[in-house]
Structures are given as C-alpha cells and as structure tokens.
Amino acid sequence: MIVENVSNTMVGVILAGGLASRMGGGDKSLKLLGEKTILEYVIDRLSPQVTRVVLNANGDPQRFSKFKIPVIHDQTDRFLGPLAGVLSGLDWANDNGFNQIVTVAADTPFFPMSLVKTLCDSLSNSDSQIALATSNGKDSKKIIRHPTFGLWPVSLRNNLRDSLNLGVRKVVTWTELHDHVDVLFKIDVEDPFFNVNTYEDLDIAKRRINLEAK
C-alpha cells in the first residue's frame, strides 16, 4: 500500500458504535474478509496516516483486546449515532494533548490511503474548521457525502456536546452550523468508501479483497 501522508499531530478515530441491525446486530467490524477482520483492514489503512489510532465502540472493550489500541465508549448509554463517537474521540484527543482528529467508519475497509493528506491539504487551503469527505460515486454528476470520514478540531468538542444534549443527531446538521469544507475524492473504478452493511456487501468485499490480492 502506498501511503501519501503521515501526520505527527493527528489521532485516528475508528467509529464502530453502530448497531449493525441489517446484519442481526453484533460487531460487523469483526466479520472476516478472508483471514483478516474488517477492522484489521481499517486499522492497517489508517495507522500509517496518523500518530495514534483509537477505537470508538460501546459494550465490553475486551472483545477488541487483540488489536492493542485504546477503546473509548460513548459518554451515554443511549445510542446517539456517529456524532457521539466523534465527541468521544475529541475528548480523548484533548486529554492526550492532540488538537484534531480524523474519523473513519469501522465497516469501510477500502478507504483512501491519501485520506488524511487530502483532508489536511483542503483544510489548510480554506478558512474552515472541519473537512468532510465526499465522492462522485458511480455517477460523476452526483456528489455523495461521507460524513463519518472527517477532520475535526478539538476546540469544538464542547459545542458538539451541547448540540448532542439539545438533540442534534445527524453529522451534517451539526457541521452546517460551522465553517466546513467538502473534500472531493474522485472515483475511477472501485469505490473506496464502499461499506459493509449487509451479508451481501460482505460477499462483495470478500471478492474485492481476493481480486486485489492477485
């Protein structure tokens, strides 16, 4: 794999707090793609791009012990969606001396190796506080947002906490309240933001892994 950026000031937060309802519950990130779990593929892609990797997941953290990374849980027993995971990541980063985080979804094993560099470059060339990934999808005329793939400043963590307490749940609802930049990742053939939501998706990902291994 070719890594296009290594950030010495960035925490990578893997968001795995979803309910996986379309796969019968449980941790879809622990489903196997060949000999490795989806989560292992995510960690392998994210680790070279950041200084530290942490996992946002609820429940017993021991089920992730083999991955040797910190596991941080949402600060509420209620399922509040990915924004709660972003907040947990921001609080962890603040407590450990970091100024920003990048988030990725735990069910997306093919995201770009240039993710952090592209987000950082776009943010540095704007007056925005947040950078969010988008892609052109299979139809080049249609732009698709990927709000769980973003660059977030620790300075906004208390604002996010207040917004969650006020009932904000959607990522785009909160980001629209702040200066942000949508960063386009052009798709030529395979979608790097393909995520595993169903067992059919899992089969597709397995075939893709096998093709890439040849």
Q: Walk along the chain (214 residues) in steps of 10 and give the mean pLDDT of each run.
A: 54 82 70 93 97 94 94 79 94 95 97 95 92 82 90 96 93 93 89 92 92 71
Predicted local distance difference test score (pLDDT) of residue 7: 52
pLDDT in tens, 133-174: 999 866 667 889 999 999 999 999 999 999 999 999 999 999
Domains and CATH numbers, the chain: 10-208 (3.90.550.10)
Are β-strands 130-135 and 144-153 bridged in parallel, bridged antiparallel, or unpaired? antiparallel
- Torsion angle, alpha carbons of 70, 63, 39, 148, to 10: -60
Predicted local distance difference test score (pLDDT) of residue 6: 46
Cβ-in-10-Å burial (0-12, 13-18, 19+) of 172 comes to exposed
Predicted local distance difference test score (pLDDT) of residue 24: 53
Angle between helices 157-165 and 82-95 (to 10 degrees): 150
**In the chain, which ranges are continuous DSSP H helix?**
38-46, 82-95, 115-124, 157-165, 171-175, 199-213
Interatomic CA distance for residues 25 and 198, integer angstroms: 11
Q: Measured in whole angstroms, how far is the alpha carbon of residue 179 from the centre of its chain?
A: 20
210: which residues sit within 8 A by CB, 6+ positions away?
34
**In this structure, what token pair is assigned to residue 82?**
């990915």
Q: How many other CB atoms are there within 10 angstroms of residue 110's CB atom?
A: 18
Beta bridge partners of 184: 134
* Backbone dihedral region for residue 81 (phi beyond 0: left; psi -120 to 50: alpha; all else: beta): left
DSSP tally for the chain: helices H, then strands E: 6, 9
143: which residues sit within 8 A by CB, 6+ positions away?
134, 135, 136, 137, 182, 184
Interatomic CA distance for residues 85 and 54, integer angstroms: 11
